[in-house]
Amino acid sequence: MTLIRLWRAKHNNRLVLTYALASGYVSLAIAEFGDNDPEHAPALIVSDHIEVTNGDSAAAIRELSNRYSRYTKGSPMAVVILGPSVYQSVQLERPNLPAEEITQALRYNLRDLVSLPPTDIVADYYDAPVQLAGQDKINAIVADRKVLQPVLNEIHQVTENILGIFSEEQAIAQLFTDQNEPAVVAYQHDLEPALLQVYAQGKLQVNRVVRSLEQLSQLGADEIDLGGASPLSVEVQRSADYFERQLRQRPIRELIIAVGSKHRQSIAKQLNQDLGLESRWAEYPAWAQELAVGDFSDFPVLGGVMLAQQLRNAKQVAA
């Protein structure tokens, strides 16, 4: 599922530009893919970000594109990743419609569930990977047309080869495809809402956007020592309980922490005390380590690179 499908590729370009939108900044990753081997890791060329002024993400995209204009020749591929401050994620029963009609109908099915008028809703969905008996739910991703349009207009100045727009929860999932044992991933950076995700067998099983944790990475060491990270422990436990008890799945074995805090030891100590789960900090993929920011704020653009590689490979197979 992509939020917008924009198959306009006219060039067989090996470069991809991945833009990630957050509340306060825009990130850009530029990577190059090999010709024929879909398993070959991408080569990361650029990883950068710029602050957004007066909410103008399009202007930030323009500045980043100009900064790296040498890579924008020949209509490279492009992917856009939306941070949770820019979209709404809603789980609902699958509409009783043919699959090809669901996306179009979502704006009306969601009108009482989101804060946007139907005329401004841009929505798509992906299937909930684990279902209770008798349920058939989908995860809808909703964005504001008035936010997306200037962003797309600016990217179209660079390339017409836009592969699609994805949510951060989909992008992050590309970095945990080797997680076979059930685990909770706690992801939060800057002032973005946190993602509490459960993975098993290399796939995203549960996703929760927790807006009350948007200050987590900003906590000082003293605040954490006084219990400031305890709300994260509560949300980790809720995610584990839902996966184990409601969905009746295998017990969670591990907690993976990807929080952009300078006080890693304090956060890990608090979580270990509260939960008693084995925990570890998330790792960057080997191909991204040289240019990695280190605070996980670049995870969305890196996941976007992997999504672009999947789409590129699928297109080559179809051709």
What DSSP string runs through the chain? --SEE-----S---EEEEEEE-SSEEEEEEEE--SS-TTSPPEEEEEEEEE-STT-HHHHHHHHHHHTGGG-TT--EEEEEE-TTTEEEEEEEPPSS-HHHHHHHHHHHTTTTSSS-GGGEEEEEEE-SS--TT--EEEEEEEEHHHHHHHHHHHHTT-S-EEEEEEHHHHHHTT-TT--S-EEEEEE-TTSPEEEEEEETTEEEEEEEEGGGTTGGG--HHHIIIIITHHHHHHHHHHHHIIIIIS--PPP-EEEEEE--S-HHHHHHHHHHHH--EEEE----GGGGGG--SSSTTHHHHHHHHHHHHHHHHHHHH-
Gap between the Cα atoms of 141 and 145, Å rounded: 13
Chain CA centroid to CA 129, Å: 16
Tell how strand 162-167 and strand 183-188 pair up: unpaired
Per-residue pLDDT of the chain (319 residues; tens, 9 = 90+): 444 444 444 454 789 999 999 989 999 999 999 876 667 899 999 999 999 999 999 999 999 999 999 999 889 999 999 999 999 999 999 999 998 899 989 988 998 899 999 999 999 999 888 877 788 999 999 999 999 999 999 999 999 999 999 999 999 999 999 999 999 999 999 999 999 999 999 999 999 999 999 999 999 999 999 999 999 999 999 999 999 999 999 999 899 999 999 999 999 999 999 998 999 999 999 999 999 999 999 999 999 999 999 988 887 766 5
pTM: 0.93
Q: Domains in the chain, please, with CATH?
A: 1-172+285-319 (3.30.420.380), 176-281 (3.30.420.40)
